[in-house]
Copies of this chain bind each other. A is one copy, B any other.
């Protein structure tokens, strides 16, 4: 198998995006800015009251992988869809940008997973995920040759929710580290951190690269102030990129600490995918052998692009944007 830059493992999800106001969130008991897991019944009833939507392929790690490919990286994705229309859309949208999507679709069981996303006028997104076929991801779907071929295996914290997927996650981690490859983890969501805090603390120290936003890292270490979390991360020694929305990001690696500004000049329309694309930019830079400063800048640039429009995947020419802004 040819060398890969990044393989992502995550929930295969098609996003259904719709505009909504704060009153809608309140009426339907939705926690603004969070990702909530929902079952099929709830997915059906919530979709029933949502406004008209747009369907766009999503999934946290899949978005990151799409970003890595857009930045010129060789990338693959492992995740489970059904053999249905939304599954076909999901697979198409990865393959159309040159990503190797290697997991066969399930031929029975729940439909392809979807995430009902309400975008409020402040550009915040509130996500309601029906994992569907994604829960069928098992350790058997983790192809050793793909993991071994990739410089970095990228795992989303959301995988820790379904039991099978968690085992798949563990298997990927073991294969990659046995081969001397790097493993990256995103904590995904502060509620996800709450659900799995103890295990995530262990994982955070075990992986090579950690991505987290401010809410997630505060929750992980149960502290109130960003700097307190930063000191703990620093002690673990893990290379970490901690994002803080408009305050930019902090990249820490042993002795090195970089303070990276958020990228300016683009409008903020829909924050869906901001963290995913930050990770994409960072990992693209990392696998290109760039400095940590430049990895952080690439993360900021990719994140700024994705929040300038609806949907969680890049639309502009990210490679060109990085070239213009960073050289």
Interface residues of A (CB under 8 A from B): 18-19, 47-48, 50-57, 66, 84-86, 89, 92-94, 96-97, 111-112, 311, 313, 315
Quick one: given A85-B84, A85-B86, are A311 and B54 in contact (CB under 8 Å)? Answer: yes
Contact of A55 among B54, B84, B112 (CB under 8 A): B54
A-B contacts besides A18-B96, A19-B315, 5 pairs, CB < 8 Å = A48-B92, A52-B96, A53-B89, A53-B93, A54-B55
Quick one: given A50-B96, A85-B85, A85-B111, are A56 and B55 in contact (CB under 8 Å)? Answer: yes
Contact of A52 among B47, B53, B97 (CB under 8 A): B97
Contact of A313 among B52, B55, B86, B311 (CB under 8 A): B52
Q: State whether B55 touches A96 (Cβ < 8 A).
A: no
Q: State whether A89 touches B55 (Cβ < 8 A).
A: yes
**A311 to B52, alpha carbons, bound, how many Å?**
12
Copies of this chain per assembly: 2
Name the B residues within 8 Å of A311 (CB-CB).
54
**A94 to B53, alpha carbons, bound, how many Å?**
10
Name the B residues within 8 Å of A53 (CB-CB).
89, 92-93, 96
Name the B residues within 8 Å of A93 (CB-CB).
52-53
Name the B residues within 8 Å of A86 (CB-CB).
85
**A18 to B52, alpha carbons, bound, how many Å?**
19
Contact of A54 among B47, B56, B111 (CB under 8 A): B56
Nearest chain B CB to A312 CB, angstrom units: 11
Interface centre among A18, A89, A111, A112 (most CB of B within 10 A): A89
Nearest chain B CB to A89 CB, angstrom units: 6
**A311 to B19, alpha carbons, bound, how many Å?**
15
Q: State whether A51 touches B96 (Cβ < 8 A).
A: yes
Which residue of the partner chain B has the closest CB to A55? B55
Q: State whether B85 touches A51 (Cβ < 8 A).
A: no
In the A-B complex, the 10 residue pairs with the closest CB atoms: A55-B55, A52-B93, A85-B85, A52-B96, A51-B96, A85-B86, A54-B56, A52-B97, A54-B54, A84-B85
**A89 to B18, alpha carbons, bound, how many Å?**
12
Name the B residues within 8 Å of A96 (CB-CB).
18, 50-53
Name the B residues within 8 Å of A52 (CB-CB).
57, 66, 92-94, 96-97, 313
Interface centre among A51, A66, A112 (most CB of B within 10 A): A51
Nearest chain B CB to A140 CB, angstrom units: 26
Name the B residues within 8 Å of A19 (CB-CB).
315
